[in-house]
Amino acid sequence: MIVWINGAFGSGKTQTAHELHRRIPESFIFDPEEAGYYIRKNIPTALAKNDFQDFELWREINYTFLKMMADQYNGIIIVPMTIVNPQYFAEIVGKLQQDGFDVRHFTLYASKEVLLKRLRTRAEGANSWAAAQIDRCLEGHSNPIFEQKINTNNLPIEQVAEQIARELGIDLLPDSRSKLKKSYDRLAVKLKHIRLF
């Protein structure tokens, strides 16, 4: 099974993915952004695009990679990735589903105010690239193709993960970490995913 966790930047995708990964044995987090960074780093400036998702190659790489893993790996593959273009979504998620793979998709939703507040906690202010994408994401995710939404405005990460698990019919391992350990783990994930570019 592939679990795609969508949502605007700051909606909680990455933290939710890591929470699920910690509590689902034999799960794996796949990061489609890595293909984008590879393309961005290895292309002439004249061919560069503002958003690496606009490269057909990015979509092809991620579709092919996920197809290979889903075909050979028995565990759950968790994909935290913002995607708002229905065509791009169809080229990856839709194509995998057409191929017969079990792909479940969830869009994490939060208000613009909450998203901006969360982005500030990871050193991305109102003028950051991520903040500038909020309106585009909220508008794009109004498309019915992204209709399976979870409102994360007032939900802690544990509850978001538990709601996804319930909808998937998966029992999560109990979380015996202390409050301090949970905070440490969340900070470590946040710091690991701060992109300075």
What average pLDDT does the segment 54-62 reach? 97
Q: Are 156 and 115 in contact (CB under 8 A)?
A: no
Does the structure show a pLDDT above 80 at 183?
no
pLDDT band at residue 136, thresholds of 50, 70 and 90?
A: very high
| CA–CA separation, 191 and 36 (whole Å) | 20
pTM of structure: 0.90
Q: Is residue 15 part of a domain?
A: yes
Does the structure show a pLDDT above 80 at 182?
no
Q: 114 lies in which domain range?
A: 2-192
Q: Is residue 7 part of a domain?
A: yes
User: Which CATH number fits the domain that encloses residue 56?
Assistant: 3.40.50.300
Total of domains in the chain: 1
Each residue's pLDDT tens digit, 6-38: 999 999 999 999 999 999 999 999 999 999 999
Q: Is residue 197 part of a domain?
A: no
Q: What is the 3-state secondary structure (H, E, C) of the chain?
A: CEEEEEECCCCCHHHHHHHHHHHCCCEEECCCHHHHHHHHHCCCHHHCCCCHHHCHHHHHHHHHHHHHHHHHCCCEEEEECCCCCHHHHHHHHHHHHHCCCCEEEEEEECCHHHHHHHHHCCCCCCCCHHHHCHHHHHHHCCCHHHCCEEECCCCCHHHHHHHHHHHHCCCCCCCCCCHHHHHHHHHHHHHHCCCCC
